[in-house]
C-alpha cells in the first residue's frame, strides 16, 4: 500500500479538535481528579495524609453523600421495569396499593414496556404529567403548556446542549452567560466554536443581576467581536451563586431578550431549592406569559428542569425536560429533528420525571410517608445552607453571601499577597499556570481532604477569588468542612500575612 504524506500524523502526535482542547469543566476537573488519586492512595495505604477520608463537596450529587431516595418513586420504577413482580400477587400485596396502581397505569400507557425506544420527545403520558405540573406551578398563565411543548431529556444538560447547538453554528454566534456560571455552558460554547458574552452578577448585592450590565455586555459583543448574541442563559436559582430572581428583574430580562431577538434559556433546575423565606421561585414561563404584548407572545423561551436536584436528587437517573414557549415553527421543526437524531432520552429518566411531576396525592396510601421524606430532606438542606454560609462568613479572609437557593455556597477568598507570590513561584517551578484559587483548593484538599471547586472554574470578576462548596454532606461532615477550612485559612494567614 502507498505510504501517504499524512503518515506524519503518527498516533503519538495525534490531532485533536482545538474546540475540544479549549473546553473546560472544573466541576470534574483538576481538583476532583487529584481527589480521586488521593482516594485511591487512602484505599491502598499509599501516601501519608492528615485525614482518613475525603469529603466531596465539588458536585451537587445528594445521594452520594447520604441522601436517601424517595421510596414511592423507586417502587413504581422497579415495578414498571420488572412487570413479573407486579404479576406476583404476593409481591404486589406487600407494596403500597398506590405504587402498584401507578405502575399498572404506566405500563398500560407505555404498551410495549420499558425496553423500547420511545417517541423522540419521550413518553406521551410522561409529557402530559409534566405539562399538568407546569400549568399548576405557573398559576394557569395561558396558553397552557401541552405535550408538544415538552421534551424529556437525559438530565437538563441535554436540553441546554440542544439549544446551544441549534443556535450556535460558529464564531459569528454568541451566547450571553452569567459570571459566575455553571461551566456546562462555557464548555458547550467552546465545543461549538461560539463566542461567550459574560454578564457579571453583583456579589455585594447578593449576586444581583442588573439590566445596564446586560446592555453593556451585549453592545460590547456586537461592537468588538462582530458576533450576534443568539441566546441568553439565565440560571435561577443561581449556580454557583444561589441567588433567586425577583419578578421585576426577570421582566427586564424578558424585554432585553425580546428586543434583541434572543432566545431566553432559563435553567431552573434548582426551582425547589429555595431556602430564604423572603424569596419565592417564579418561573420565566409564568413571567413571560404574564407580560403584555408583544412580550408574552413573541419572547422565545426554553425552560430546563431535571430530576437531579430539588429534594428528589436522582442524579444517576439522568432525567429532565425542556419546555418551549413562543418558538417559531421553523425552529421547532429543527428541535424535533435534533431529538430524533438522539433517538430518545433513557426511559428510567423519563419515568422519574413523570413521577417527580405527579407525586402521591392526599388520600393516597403513600402520601404521608412521601411528604415526611420530602420535608426531612428539604429541612436538612435549609439548615445546612444557613449554617454553612454563616460559618464560612466567620472564617478569616472569607466572606459569604447568603445561600438563598440551589445547593452551594460560593464564598469569596482574600489571601495574603505573599501567598499569591508563592503561587507564581510554584507555577514557574512546576511549569504550569495554576490559578491562585485553584492552588488554594488543591492545598486545602491535600491538607484536609475537603474537595471544593475553585471560583476560576465558574468565572469571577477579575481580581477576585472564590470557591464553590456544596451544602449537601451530613451535618457532622459540614462541621469537619468548616473546621478544616478555618484551620487552613488561619495557617495561611499565620504563614504569609
Yes or no: say if 414 and 463 are a contact pair by the CB < 8 Å rule.
no
170, 226, 396, 421: which one binds a copy of itself (CB under 8 A): 170
Does 94 participate in binding a copy of itself (rule CB under 8 A)?
yes
144, 216, 343, 497: which one binds a copy of itself (CB under 8 A): 343
The interface region with a copy of itself, picked from 281-289, 332-340, 398-406, 446-454 by CB under 8 A, is 332-340
* Strands lying side by side in the sheet with 263-267: 150-153, 320-325, 301-306, 263-267, 228-235, 173-179, 195-200
The interface region with a copy of itself, picked from 169-177, 359-367, 418-426, 485-493 by CB under 8 A, is 169-177
Helix H or strand E encompassing 177: strand 173-179
Taking the CA atoms of 299, 155, 81 and 113 in sequence, report the sign of the dihedral they define.
positive
- CB of residue 378 vs a copy of itself: minimum separation in angstroms? 16
47, 143, 169, 226: which one binds a copy of itself (CB under 8 A): 169
Grouping H, G, I as helix, E, B as strand and the rest as coil, residue 49 is coil
Residues in binding contact with a copy of itself, number by CB under 8 A: 114
Does 429 participate in binding a copy of itself (rule CB under 8 A)?
no
Does 191 participate in binding a copy of itself (rule CB under 8 A)?
yes
42, 128, 291, 334: which one binds a copy of itself (CB under 8 A): 334
Minimum CB distance to a copy of itself smaller for 340 or for 495: 340
- CB of residue 383 vs a copy of itself: minimum separation in angstroms? 21
Q: What is the DSSP letter of 280?
A: -
Does 341 participate in binding a copy of itself (rule CB under 8 A)?
yes
135, 342, 365, 447: which one binds a copy of itself (CB under 8 A): 342
The interface region with a copy of itself, picked from 64-72, 237-245, 270-278, 447-455 by CB under 8 A, is 64-72
Does 168 participate in binding a copy of itself (rule CB under 8 A)?
yes
Residues 16-55 that bind a copy of itself (CB under 8 A): 16-21, 23-25, 27-29, 36
Minimum CB distance to a copy of itself smaller for 258 or for 412: 258
* Nine cell digits for residue 252: 427586564
Does 422 participate in binding a copy of itself (rule CB under 8 A)?
no
Binding mask 263-282 for a copy of itself (x = CB under 8 A): x-------------------
Yes or no: say if 192 and 168 are a contact pair by the CB < 8 Å rule.
yes
- CB of residue 202 vs a copy of itself: minimum separation in angstroms? 19
Does 10 participate in binding a copy of itself (rule CB under 8 A)?
yes
38, 55, 59, 250: which one binds a copy of itself (CB under 8 A): 59
41, 46, 47, 116: which one binds a copy of itself (CB under 8 A): 116
- Taking alpha carbons only, the member of 409, 134, 416, 478 closest to residue 289 is 134
The interface region with a copy of itself, picked from 75-83, 280-288, 406-414, 489-497 by CB under 8 A, is 75-83
Yes or no: say if 220 and 448 are a contact pair by the CB < 8 Å rule.
no
Residues 348-377 that bind a copy of itself (CB under 8 A): 348-349
The interface region with a copy of itself, picked from 72-80, 130-138, 385-393, 463-471 by CB under 8 A, is 72-80
Q: State the Cα–Cα distance between residues 306 and 251, nearest whole angstrom.
A: 24
DSSP line for 221-273: IIIII-PEEEEEEEESS-TTT-----HHHHHHHHHHHHHTT-EEEEE-TTTT-
Q: State the Cα–Cα distance between residues 20 and 198, nearest whole angstrom.
A: 20
Residue 237 preceded by cis peptide, ω within 30 = yes
The rounded Cα 281 to chain-centroid distance in angstroms is 16
Q: State the Cα–Cα distance between residues 344 and 126, nearest whole angstrom.
A: 13
Binding mask 194-233 for a copy of itself (x = CB under 8 A): -----------------x---x--x---x-----xxx---
Does 450 participate in binding a copy of itself (rule CB under 8 A)?
no
Does 471 participate in binding a copy of itself (rule CB under 8 A)?
no
Does 488 participate in binding a copy of itself (rule CB under 8 A)?
no
Question: Which residue's C-alpha cell is 455585594?
Answer: 204
Q: State the Cα–Cα distance between residues 231 and 249, nearest whole angstrom.
A: 18
Q: State the Cα–Cα distance between residues 180 and 198, nearest whole angstrom.
A: 9
Does 134 participate in binding a copy of itself (rule CB under 8 A)?
no
Minimum CB distance to a copy of itself smaller for 153 or for 243: 153
- CB of residue 117 vs a copy of itself: minimum separation in angstroms? 4
Question: Which residue's C-alpha cell is 404529567?
Answer: 129
Q: State the Cα–Cα distance between residues 193 and 191, nearest whole angstrom.
A: 6
Q: State the Cα–Cα distance between residues 411 and 392, nearest whole angstrom.
A: 7
Instruction: Tell me the C-alpha to C-alpha distance, in Å, between residue 355 and each of 128, 239, 314, 369.
Output: 11, 25, 11, 15
- Taking alpha carbons only, the member of 435, 493, 492 closest to residue 31 is 435
208, 331, 369, 387: which one binds a copy of itself (CB under 8 A): 331
Residues 237-266 that bind a copy of itself (CB under 8 A): 255-256, 259-261, 263
**C-alpha dihedral (305, 306, 310, 312), degrees to nearest 10:** 150
- CB of residue 46 vs a copy of itself: minimum separation in angstroms? 18
What burial class does residue 115 get, using C-beta atoms within 10 Å of its C-beta: 0-12 exposed, 13-18 middle, 19+ buried? exposed
Amino acid at each position: 500500500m502507498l505510504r501517504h504524506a499524512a503518515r506524519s500524523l503518527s498516533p503519538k502526535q495525534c490531532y485533536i479538535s482545538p474546540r475540544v482542547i479549549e473546553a473546560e469543566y472544573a466541576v470534574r476537573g483538576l481538583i476532583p481528579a487529584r481527589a480521586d488519586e488521593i482516594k485511591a492512595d487512602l484505599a491502598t495505604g499509599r501516601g501519608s495524609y492528615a485525614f482518613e477520608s475525603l469529603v466531596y463537596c465539588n458536585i451537587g450529587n445528594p445521594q452520594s453523600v447520604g441522601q436517601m431516595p424517595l421510596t414511592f418513586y423507586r417502587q413504581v420504577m422497579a415495578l414498571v421495569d420488572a412487570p413479573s413482580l407486579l404479576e406476583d400477587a404476593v409481591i404486589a400485596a406487600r407494596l403500597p396499593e398506590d405504587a402498584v396502581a401507578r405502575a399498572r397505569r404506566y405500563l398500560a400507557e407505555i404498551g410495549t414496556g420499558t425496553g423500547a425506544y420511545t417517541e423522540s420527545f419521550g413518553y406521551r403520558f410522561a409529557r402530559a404529567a409534566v405539562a399538568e405540573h407546569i400549568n399548576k406551578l405557573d398559576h394557569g398563565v395561558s396558553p397552557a403548556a401541552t405535550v408538544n411543548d415538552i421534551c424529556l431529556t437525559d438530565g437538563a444538560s441535554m436540553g441546554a446542549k440542544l439549544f446551544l447547538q441549534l443556535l450556535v453554528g460558529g464564531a459569528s454566534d454568541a451566547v450571553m452567560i452569567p459570571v459566575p456560571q455553571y461551566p456546562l455552558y462555557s464548555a458547550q460554547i467552546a465545543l461549538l466554536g461560539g463566542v461567550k458574552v459574560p454578564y457579571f452578577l453583583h456579589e455585594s448585592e447578593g449576586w444581583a443581576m442588573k439590566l445596564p450590565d446586560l446592555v453593556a455586555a451585549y453592545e460590547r459583543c456586537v461592537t468588538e467581536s462582530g458576533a450576534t448574541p443568539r441566546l441568553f442563559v439565565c440560571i435561577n436559582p443561581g449556580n454557583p451563586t444561589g441567588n433567586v430572581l425577583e419578578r421585576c428583574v426577570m421582566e427586564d430580562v424578558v424585554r432585553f431578550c425580546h428586543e434583541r431577538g434572543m432566545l431566553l434559556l432559563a435553567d431552573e433546575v434548582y426551582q425547589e431549592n429555595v431556602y430564604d423565606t423572603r424569596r419565592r421561585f417564579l418561573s420565566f414561563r409564568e413571567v413571560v406569559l404574564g407580560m403584555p404584548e408583544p412580550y408574552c407572545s413573541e419572547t422565545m423561551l426554553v425552560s430546563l428542569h431535571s430530576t437531579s436536584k430539588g429534594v428528589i436528587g436522582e442524579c444517576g437517573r439522568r432525567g429532565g425536560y425542556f419546555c418551549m414557549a413562543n418558538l417559531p415553527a421553523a425552529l421547532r421543526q429543527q428541535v424535533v429533528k435534533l431529538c430524533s437524531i438522539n433517538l430518545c432520552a433513557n426511559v428510567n429518566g423519563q419515568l422519574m420525571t413523570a413521577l417527580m411531576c405527579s407525586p402521591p396525592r392526599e388520600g393516597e396510601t403513600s402520601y404521608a410517608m412521601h411528604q415526611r421524606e420530602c420535608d426531612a430532606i428539604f429541612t436538612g438542606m435549609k439548615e445546612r445552607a444557613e449554617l454553612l454560609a454563616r460559618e464560612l462568613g466567620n472564617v478569616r479572609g472569607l466572606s459569604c453571601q447568603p445561600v438563598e437557593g440551589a445547593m452551594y455556597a460560593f464564598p469569596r477568598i482574600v489571601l495574603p499577597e505573599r501567598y499569591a507570590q508563592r503561587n507564581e513561584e510554584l507555577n514557574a517551578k512546576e511549569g504550569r499556570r495554576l490559578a491562585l484559587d485553584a492552588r488554594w483548593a488543591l492545598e486545602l484538599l491535600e491538607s484536609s481532604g475537603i474537595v471544593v471547586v475553585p471560583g476560576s472554574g465558574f468565572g469571577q470578576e477579575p481580581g477576585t477569588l472564590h470557591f464553590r462548596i456544596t451544602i449537601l454532606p451530613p451535618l457532622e461532615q459540614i462541621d469537619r468542612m468548616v473546621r478544616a477550612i478555618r484551620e487552613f485559612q488561619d495557617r495561611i494567614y499565620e504563614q504569609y500575612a
